[in-house]
Amino acid sequence: MLQFPLGDMVVDLFDEGEGSTLCESFAQLCARKHYHGCLVYQVQPGCLAQLGDPSGTGTGGCCSSALAHGGDKANNRFLRHTPSEDRRKHDRAGLISLASMGSQNGEHLYGSQFFFTLRDDDLEHLDAGGHVIIGEVAEGLDVLKKIGALYLDSSGRPWEDVRVQHAHVLENPFSEIMECPPSPTRNPETPHVEEKLVARVAYGQAKDPSDGLTATERASQEAAKKARSQAEVLEMIGDLPHADVEVPKNELFIAKLNKATEDADLELIFSRFGRIESCDIVRDWKTGDSLNFAFIAFEEEKSCVEAYKKMNNVLIDDSRIRVDFSQSVAKIWSRYTMQYKGSAAAKLREKHQTGDKKGHYGPGGGSARAFGGRRRADDVFVAPPDAGHDTVRDYRARLENRGDRRDDRRDRRHDSKASLGVEGLGDRRDRDRDRRDRDRGSERREPSRSSRGSERRERSRSRERSRRR
């Protein structure tokens, strides 16, 4: 019986017929605890799992007779055997075979290395390699399936070390088997003394990254993973410039604005919380009318948080506004646009991540305002802490002059329409309509060949009738 961290496996040996000498050597190695701590060093998924080499390299091991005379350094390190053609074939999963270590003078060499088969067919290459079947798994095929399902590196070694913890001879099929020495005192997970590989984490001993965390911390980690995966999906479909992009933390989104509210009015109202970097009311590109929402960026995140706390649901120009932190990345999209490719894009992202940035308005550095807003000037109004009646009086005066500002905006809208060619649109439509009418009239004036023939026949008939009269 072989004991693994994954479970126990009972093996029945074929102690009669061809290969009985090899079976006896295998039983003696088990009795001498030679396999204790041996690593499952190679797994070929869906084919075989190999072990039995104390060094873990696939080149070590020796037979039972050489174990008492120096092991790998003994002169007669391997048993010699010539497999016959009518021997047992590898035709099913769960067979255990001694691995051939090569051949000399037509005889194959066998030591302590063996393997288990993991599938039922397409194993003829094992028969051609001279490997000899010495038994089969009677109990523990589920353990064998677990070994075959381990995660492997590029060389086929499991990432988690699976070792033989104990090897017991439950029934002695041979009369002259050696006396069993006491079991090694080392721990079952301890590598073999001859192992030459760097030990990895023992099977089942890997720590879960979430061990020791509270429920809140675990939920936070899961939320971060989910947000990351969603960001990568949005990047793939083009909704985000990059998965690592972060929304500006000093920008507010203002909704449900009155159409009469101006940029300067909104900037004046919110400037009591700190210096404003930009204030943009989003407008229709053609008419210039307000779309009832705006973006306000503060120079300090603290000012942004304070404005969010105090300005939500506030009445401005007879309209209760809604204030929230902005989730828009439109102003920073230029960092990741297609004009920045390859190393240039990588340098920009690295510069942004390290904090070496001029602002969140793109690689140009300046606060280029989106949606046609004004650029930030040095004379941006900031309400002083001790603002008194003068400030309020000035604001009221601006409200009284709102009618004049509306007239100016109407004139600018008219000029913008003229510059955009909106008024000429009807003229172009009239010209197109006249052209179509002329084309139809020309079609009426130019009869077809069949109509001209019918007209000629009608004229000839009329002339004939006139002669008869």
For residue 362, how far is the Cα from the chain centroid?
26
Q: The domain that contains 89 carries what CATH number? A: 2.40.100.10
149-155: Cβ within 8 A, 24+ apart: 150/43, 152/43, 152/45, 155/42
pLDDT above 70 (res 139):
yes
Q: 379: domain CATH number?
A: 3.30.70.330
**Which tokens go with 66?**
């050489």
Asked if 283 and 372 count as a contact pair (C-beta separation under 8 A), the reply is: yes
Question: Is a pLDDT exceeding 90 seen at residue 253?
Answer: yes
Q: Which residue has the higher pLDDT, 319 or 202?
A: 319
> Both tokens of residue 368?
């280029």
The pLDDT assigned to 384 comes to: 47
Q: What would the pLDDT profile of 14-35 be if each residue is shown by its tens digit? A: 888 777 888 888 888 888 888 8
Summarize pLDDT for 141-156 with one digit per residue, the tens. Answer: 999 999 998 888 888 8
More confident residue, 332 or 23: 23
**What's the DSSP call for residue 291?**
E
State whether 142 and 223 are in the same domain.
no
Q: Which residue has the tokens 């090897």?
A: 167
Same-domain pairing of 359 and 300? yes
Cβ neighbors of 329 (< 8 A, separation 6 or more) are 240, 241, 245, 247
Domain shared by 236 and 256, yes or no: no
- pLDDT of residue 67 exceeding 70: yes
Q: What confidence category does residue 427 fall into, taking pLDDT thresholds of 50, 70 and 90?
A: low
Between 74 and 7, the more confident residue is 7
Torsion of CA 311, 316, 320, 322, to 10 degrees: -40
Q: What are 386-415's pLDDT values in tens digits?
A: 544 455 455 555 555 655 666 666 666 555
Can you tell me the distance from the alpha carbon of 382 to that of 270, in angstroms, rounded to the nearest whole number?
9
Going along 147-219, which residue ranges are E strands? 166-167
Q: Grade residue 257 by pLDDT with cuts at 50, 70 and 90.
A: very high
Cα of first residue to Cα of last residue in the chain, in angstroms, is 132
Q: What range does the domain containing 315 cover?
A: 251-385
180 falls within a domain? no
d(CA 209, CA 391): 58
Residue 449 is predicted with a pLDDT of 58
Mean pLDDT (the chain, rounded): 76
Q: Give the 3-state secondary structure of residue 284.
A: coil
- Please check whether residues 292 and 348 belong to one and the same domain: yes
pLDDT recorded at residue 114? 93
In a domain, 178, yes or no: no
Which of these ranges, 125-134, 304-313, 314-323, 445-454, has the smallest mean pLDDT? Answer: 445-454
Q: Is 142 found in the same domain as 24?
A: yes
Higher-pLDDT residue of 138 and 213 is 138
Looking at the structure, tell me whether residues 157 and 18 fall in a common domain: yes
For the stretch 273-324, pLDDT in tens is 999 988 989 998 888 889 999 999 999 999 999 999 999 999 998 899 999 9
Per-residue 3-state assignment (H helix, E strand, C coil) for 45-77: CCCEEEECCCCCCCCCCCCHHHHCCCHHHCCCC
Instruction: Mark whether 111 and 147 lie in a shared domain.
Output: yes
Gap between the Cα atoms of 170 and 182, Å rounded: 15
pLDDT recorded at residue 310:
92
| Mean pLDDT to the nearest integer, 125-129 | 87
| Rg of the chain in Å (alpha carbons) | 44
The residue among 363 and 77 whose pLDDT is bigger is 77
Residue 362 domain-assigned (yes or no) = yes
In this prediction, residue 227 has a pLDDT band, given cuts at 50, 70 and 90, of confident
Instruction: Tell whether 74 and 110 lie within a shared domain.
Output: yes
Residues 377 and 411 in one domain: no
What is the per-residue pLDDT for 306? 93
Residue in 364, 13, 359 with CA at minimum distance from that of residue 167: 13
pLDDT band at residue 166, thresholds of 50, 70 and 90? confident
Kindly tell me if the per-residue pLDDT of 115 is higher than 90. yes
Q: Of 167, 190, 223, at which residue does a domain stop? A: 167
pLDDT tens-place string over residues 182-198 = 555 545 556 777 777 87
Question: Which of the residue ranges 309-323, 367-381, 440-454 has the most confident prediction, judged by mean pLDDT?
Answer: 309-323
Dihedral pair phi/psi, residue 47, rounded to 5°:
-135, -70
Segment 429-451 shows an average pLDDT of 63
CA angle 108, 112, 117 (to 5 degrees): 80
Check whether 69 has a pLDDT greater than 90.
no
Classified as helix, coil or strand, 329 is coil
Say whether both 258 and 228 belong to one domain: no
Residues 259 and 292 sit within 8 Å (Cβ to Cβ): yes
Q: Are 41 and 197 contacting, i.e. CB atoms less than 8 angstroms apart?
A: yes
Q: 464 lies in a domain?
A: no
Give me 134's structure tokens. Answer: 């010495």
Residue 42 included in any domain: yes
- Mark whether 34 and 156 lie in a shared domain: yes
Q: What is the total count of domains within the chain? A: 4
3-state helix, strand, coil split of the chain in percent (to 5) is 35, 20, 45
Looking at the fold, whether 218 and 138 belong to one and the same domain comes out as no
What is the per-residue pLDDT across 28-62, written as a single tens digit (0 to 9) for each?
888 888 888 888 999 999 899 999 888 888 888 88
What mean pLDDT comes out for the span 94-101? 90
Output the pLDDT for position 379.
37
In the predicted structure, residue 445 carries a pLDDT above the cut 60: no
Is 377 within a domain? yes
Q: Specify if 282 maps to a domain.
A: yes
Q: Is the pLDDT of residue 356 over 60?
A: no
**Token pair belonging to 295:** 């973006």
Q: How many CA atoms within 13 Å lie on the side-chain side of 214?
A: 2
Asked whether residue 342 carries a pLDDT value surpassing 60, the answer given is no
- Whether 449 is in a domain gets the answer no
370: confidence class by pLDDT, cuts 50, 70, 90: very low
Last-in-domain residue among 195, 221, 240:
240
Query: Which tokens in the block code for residue 188?
Result: 């079952």
DSSP state of 161: B
